[in-house]
Amino acid sequence: MQQRALGEWRVGSIGLGCMNLDHGYGPAVNEADGERALLAALDAGYTLMDTATLYGGGQNEARVGRVLQHRRKDIVLSSKCGMEITRVEGKPLRVIDGRPATLMRQCEDSLRRLNTDVIDLYYLHRWDKTVPIEDSVGALSRLVEKGQIRAIGLSEVSAATLRRAHAVHPITALQTEYSLWSRNPEIAVLQACQELGVAFVAFSPVARGFLCDVLRDVGTLDAKDIRRTMPRFEPGTYARNLALLAPYRKLAEQADCTPAQLALAWLLHKAPHIIPIPGSQSVAHILDNAGADSVVLGVDVMDALEALINQHTVIGERYDAQATSEVDTEAF
């Protein structure tokens, strides 16, 4: 796999989002299948591994730590703090908490679960808007000074918030949803990252499966699949968005690649500071995604893709009202 810059590191141009193994898209995979997926990704050239305190209530970090501890030197390990699952009256509740003491505690817990002495890249998963971004980033900078983390990242923040944070301590990466059907980063934050020398890490780069051209009936999704709360995956809305896939499939054929590879190749062609991190429970899909690294797209295909799938042609918001209130990203 080709390499891209991520702070002090060179990483595979496509990273691995590990969340899917334990969180968000139905039941966690078993131990053997999870190990098989992680090691197959490593062998295929993925070197940026992305997890978080939130995912599976720490289970995903623990899985990554178990499987990859003997290959630690081969990866750039990233995790996230500031959002976790707690229990209130016996029920799980997702909590955003950016207070310095909370971030310090979560880092200690993450280090233990990940079986490592240092986390390479540690993101603030969400900006807690009740805490100045300067205070949260200041706490992360103290973790750098203590040698517990090597670099700081932010997730789902605006260009203005990025600049405020970067003034406190250099930000190495900013992570936000970005794909053909979620183009919000193009408003301002992509440019801000380029100006500041910040890598842009694109999560959900295949549009949460939509651009893989395999999910036709959202009624088949697991009852706890997070897509069930997303307006674009409401059955009637999703059925209308499916009309975009027939011409999209033809463009993939024209580019001699799979639909998922086309989505990832589009991102890789957009700018050299973009690193997509698709996730999957399937070894076959992980290997297919890696193949996007060698896909070459002409200007005609790039233009056709952007005209076909964009903020004007996709129906529905990317998040519901609650999730939208939790992010700080620019919106069209």
The tens digit of pLDDT for each residue in 112-161 reads: 999 999 999 999 999 999 999 999 999 999 999 999 999 999 999 999 99
Answer whether 79's CB lies under 8 Å from 106's CB. no
Residues 246-256 as b/e (b if ≥16 CB within 10 A, e otherwise) read: eebeebbeebe
Structural domain harbouring 20: 3-207+270-295
Q: Is residue 215 part of a domain?
A: no
What's the burial of 144, exposed, middle or buried (CB within 10 Å: 0-12/13-18/19+)?
middle
Place of tokens 């801000």: 192
25 SS3 class:
coil
Nearest one of 235, 162, 165 to 192, comparing CA atoms: 162
Instruction: Kindly report the number of other CB atoms within 10 A of residue 26's CB atom.
Output: 15
Which residues, 6+ apart, have CB-to-CB distance to 108 below 8 Å? Answer: 148
Q: Model-level pTM?
A: 0.97
Distance CA 70, CA 308 (A): 44
Please confirm, yes or no, whether 55 is among the known catalytic residues: yes
6 HSE (CA, 13 A, CB side): 33
Place 88 in a pLDDT band, splitting at 50, 70 and 90: confident
Q: Is residue 196 part of a domain?
A: yes
Three-state SS for 186? helix
Q: What share of the chain in percent tops pLDDT 90?
A: 97
CATH number of the domain where residue 152 is located: 3.20.20.100
Please list the alpha-helical segments (H only) found in the chain. Answer: 31-43, 59-68, 100-113, 133-146, 159-168, 189-196, 235-241, 245-254, 259-270, 283-290, 299-308, 321-326
Q: Which of 208, 212, 217, 209 is nearest to 235 (CA)?
A: 217
Structure confidence at residue 92 (pLDDT)? 82
pLDDT value at position 159? 98
245 in a domain, yes or no?
Answer: no
Sign of CA dihedral 162, 163, 165, 170: positive
Q: Per the domain annotation, does 330 fall within a domain?
A: no
Q: Is 95 within a domain?
A: yes
pLDDT digits (tens, 9 = 90+) for 244-259: 999 999 999 999 999 9
What's the rounded Cα separation, in Å, for the pair 218 and 260? 18
Q: Supply the pLDDT for residue 315.
A: 98
How many domains does the chain divide into?
1
Query: Which is the catalytic residue, given 25, 46, 55, 238?
Result: 55
The reply to whether 255 falls in a domain is no
- For residue 68, CA distances in Å to 48, 72, 89, 319 come to 12, 6, 35, 32
In a domain, residue 112? The reply is: yes
Q: Is the per-residue pLDDT at 164 higher than 90?
A: yes
pLDDT at position 55: 97
Q: Report in angstroms the alpha-carbon separations of 41 from 15, 87, 138, 281, 296.
A: 9, 33, 34, 11, 22
**DSSP-derived secondary structure letter, 89:** T
**What per-residue confidence (pLDDT) applies to 18?**
98
Is residue 105 one of the residues assigned to a domain? yes
Tell me what the pLDDT averaged over the chain comes to: 97
For residues 198-214, give the mean pLDDT: 97
Q: Are strands 119-124 and 76-81 parallel, antiparallel or unpaired?
A: parallel
